[in-house]
A and B are shown apart, each in its own frame.
Chain A
Amino acid sequence: MLTYLGPTPMPSDDKRWKIVEATARRHGREPHALIETLHTVQECFGYLDDTALKFVALTLRLPMSRVYGAATFYHFFTLKPKGKHTCVICTGTACYIKGAPALLNAIEKAYGVKPGETTSDNELSVLTARCLGSCGLAPAVVFDGAVLGKIGAANLLARVEKGIRHDH
């Protein structure tokens, strides 16, 4: 029988841990709060690192294996930090038949990164989406949160280049 040993100590003074803790508390620290809590971590920190996974496991009194299992099972969770800019290319059916592969090729040629990878200078992360649901705008890309619809490879490269150069 598990006894409750009081709140789990926060990994650091970072206030964001309190938000994570609040989500767990709202669901009564029950095992079924796992995915909701992981969502909160990702929303606050951008990704799930070992410290976060351990903290979630302790807070919800779950084995590490279960937490790691869920974190790696679901595509939405990422264990690595993203680059400064993110380019999400939709590979849904409508986008696929309207030229998403050409966009992926163009990005790979220009930046040398495949989907799921980040450039070595940490500037650009390239991701694919199963379907953005913007099939009317196929092929669609989300660059830094903005949806670019009906876009061709040349336009996409120009847009990405502009976004990256903007910082320098």
Chain B
Amino acid sequence: MTIEELRKAAETEREAQKKYVHHVCVCTAAGCLSSGADQVLEAIKKEVAESGMKHEVLAKGVGCMGLCSAGPLVSVETEDRLYAGVTPEQAPEIIRSLDAGGGEGLTECPTNVPFFERQKKIVLENCGRIDPERIEDYIANDGYRALVTVIAEKTPQEVVQEVIRSGLRGRGGAGYPTGLKWSTVAKTGEQQKYVICNADEGDPGAFMDRAVLESDPHRVLEGMAIAAYAVGAQKGYIYVRAEYPLAVKNLKIAIRQAERMGLLGNSICGSRFSFHIDIRLGAGAFVCGEETALIASIEGKRGSPRPRPPYPAESGLFDCPTLINNVETFSNVAPIIRRGAAWFAAIGTEKSKGTKVFALAGRIKNTGLIEVPMGITLREIVHEVGGGIPDGKRFKAVQTGGPSGGCIPEQHMDSPLDYESLKLIGSMMGSGGMIVMDETSCMVDVAKYFMEFCKSESCGKCIPCRAGTQQMHGLLEKITAGEGTAADLTLLQELCDLVRNTSLCGLGQSAPTPVITTMQYFPEEYQSHIDGQGCAAGVCACGPKHADPEEVRK
């Protein structure tokens, strides 16, 4: 496929879509799907056919629109309306109201609120707008233009340089400069190289990668193909969780479509560049998000990490140089090539460029998926984009980075969101899960929850992590039961230090972070548990007990 042919295909699809007066989009990503979005789409399609508006109204299933807590969502793109909590019975009303402007009995979401206006969409630019199962829709939105241009006009070195200039950093959590990683792999002289997309999103409370894979799978494929061209790889793997069946299904469809159009597979666009992508299913091991463990898992072994160096960039999958990047990192590649490194570098802060996608959840009004420019403050995210805490409760902490991240209290809410600032206050960017907690959460209990997670997800290879997490969990159990002593707190602190500094991989090294940050920012809560004053939030076994657990839930 040449640039000219691609442009023509995009033009044809745009023309075809323009014929419709109205575009009705139903979110069919996992969040809305679990509240019955598939039936809503079915009903709307039926209604369109029955009312004889087949040539005026285009009804399609699209990806995640972001406001997951208000699902199922239906948007009328041509009128810029968004309906929340739609039921199949409301389908006729939606179709009827198309020309009238607003229907009765429908819950309309205002789109001029901070939740939508404060966002800047690069990775999610197509999410909720295109049909993930149709490559034509992606191509009509400038899809694959970057890949075709790169193959026709740029050398691999130029692509690597462009990514370096953009300042893009790994979105998986650690923030390693992406361009540097690419150039390391590109420089190795080996024949066989691999590109791996890490879609093993194991952090509880994180669903950004799933949303991208479900809503815009071609974006990831295009990013991987550009990466493969730049580093000289012929084979790629996407390691995705088996718990994401819809993401796997959409990816499979996308790969088949791209291969059929000659955008993946042998001699792409008639060039000498070939690239094949295969999907590998994860099997529910959190540690497989660590790159060396992930490689072991693709090789069919247990997901145990190994010491680095050698880094995967030199010796990775099947001992060949391997480039591993996260879903979100790959998703940023095509826009960077299309719009130029300078455009991307102008967004964000000095050291953290671009945007970051966060999964906002917990005790917050607007639960869902957001994409904000780097450098925004936590306060803006929680109180403006997120809409604040519901039920008049008081904000307590926000947890970023999943089990590897920390709890950030009120006093640090004004620090900007970038890799360095988050590290400075003891947490980390992580993959982008963001859980908001209010006064009904006990921080000791939260620390115990994460430690329980790390304990059972530890692969067991190195002793500090295997035994250390077990011991720390035991101490936290003791403290939450009201049987802890001051000596236990000291021991806990020592263990944190030991496990952090001596574990083999990222899981163990970061496992103590939730404990360290809660002990640092909420020492009074630990103190009241060991002083016999009990748990102020009423969550822990030591009481003061709430009348019944139902009330805590509310």
Interface residues of A (CB under 8 A from B): 30-36, 38-39, 66, 69-70, 73-77, 91-94, 96-99, 101-102, 105, 129-140, 147, 149, 152-154
Q: A134 touching B34 by the CB < 8 A rule?
A: yes
Task: For residue B301, give the distance in angstroms from its CB to the closest CB of chain A.
Answer: 7
Q: B550 touching A153 by the CB < 8 A rule?
A: yes
Complex CA gap A99/B546 in Å reads: 13
B449 is an interface residue with CB less than 8 A from chain A: yes
Task: For residue A117, give the distance in angstroms from its CB to the closest CB of chain B.
Answer: 16
B378 is an interface residue with CB less than 8 A from chain A: no
Task: For residue A67, give the distance in angstroms from its CB to the closest CB of chain B.
Answer: 10
Complex CA gap A132/B247 in Å reads: 13
Task: For residue B129, give the distance in angstroms from its CB to the closest CB of chain A.
Answer: 19
Question: Which one of B31, B201, B202, B437 has the highest number of Cβ atoms from chain A below 10 Å of its Cβ?
Answer: B31
- B29 (CB) vs chain A CBs: closest residue: A133
B179 is an interface residue with CB less than 8 A from chain A: no
Q: B549 touching A153 by the CB < 8 A rule?
A: yes
Q: Which listed residue, A74, A93, A139, touches B205 by the CB 8 Å rule?
A: A93
Task: For residue A108, give the distance in angstroms from its CB to the closest CB of chain B.
Answer: 12
Complex CA gap A70/B441 in Å reads: 37
Q: B204 touching A99 by the CB < 8 A rule?
A: no
Q: Which listed residue, A33, A76, A101, touches B300 by the CB 8 Å rule?
A: A33
- B368 (CB) vs chain A CBs: closest residue: A136
B435 is an interface residue with CB less than 8 A from chain A: yes
Q: Which listed residue, A33, A102, A132, touches B552 by the CB 8 Å rule?
A: A102
Complex CA gap A137/B68 in Å reads: 8
Q: Which listed residue, B35, B210, B284, touches A76 by the CB 8 Å rule?
A: B284
Q: B367 touching A135 by the CB < 8 A rule?
A: yes
Q: A74 touching B303 by the CB < 8 A rule?
A: yes
Interface residues of B (CB under 8 A from A): 30-31, 34-35, 68-69, 71, 201-207, 210, 242-244, 280-286, 297-303, 318, 359, 361-363, 367-368, 399, 402, 433, 435, 437, 440-441, 446, 449-450, 453, 459, 549-550, 552-553
Q: A98 touching B553 by the CB < 8 A rule?
A: yes
Q: B362 touching A94 by the CB < 8 A rule?
A: yes
Q: B435 touching A75 by the CB < 8 A rule?
A: no
- A96 (CB) vs chain B CBs: closest residue: B449
Complex CA gap A36/B201 in Å reads: 19
Interchain Cβ contacts under 8 Å between A and B, 8 examples: A32-B299, A33-B300, A76-B284, A93-B362, A93-B433, A97-B362, A130-B286, A133-B201
Q: B301 touching A70 by the CB < 8 A rule?
A: yes
Chain B residues within 8 Å of A34, by CB: 300-301
Chain B residues within 8 Å of A76, by CB: 242-243, 282-284
Extra A-B contacts (13), CB below 8 Å, given A35-B283, A36-B280, A130-B202: A34-B300, A70-B300, A70-B301, A73-B285, A76-B284, A93-B399, A93-B402, A130-B243, A133-B206, A133-B243, A136-B31, A152-B550, A152-B553
Q: Which listed residue, B35, B449, B552, B553, touches A93 by the CB 8 Å rule?
A: B449
Complex CA gap A33/B446 in Å reads: 39
Chain B residues within 8 Å of A102, by CB: 549-550, 552-553
Q: A134 touching B31 by the CB < 8 A rule?
A: yes
Q: Which listed residue, A32, A35, A73, A135, touches B359 by the CB 8 Å rule?
A: A135
Chain A residues within 8 Å of B71, by CB: 136-137
Complex CA gap A75/B274 in Å reads: 36
Task: For residue A116, give the distance in angstroms from its CB to the closest CB of chain B.
Answer: 11
Q: A133 touching B550 by the CB < 8 A rule?
A: no
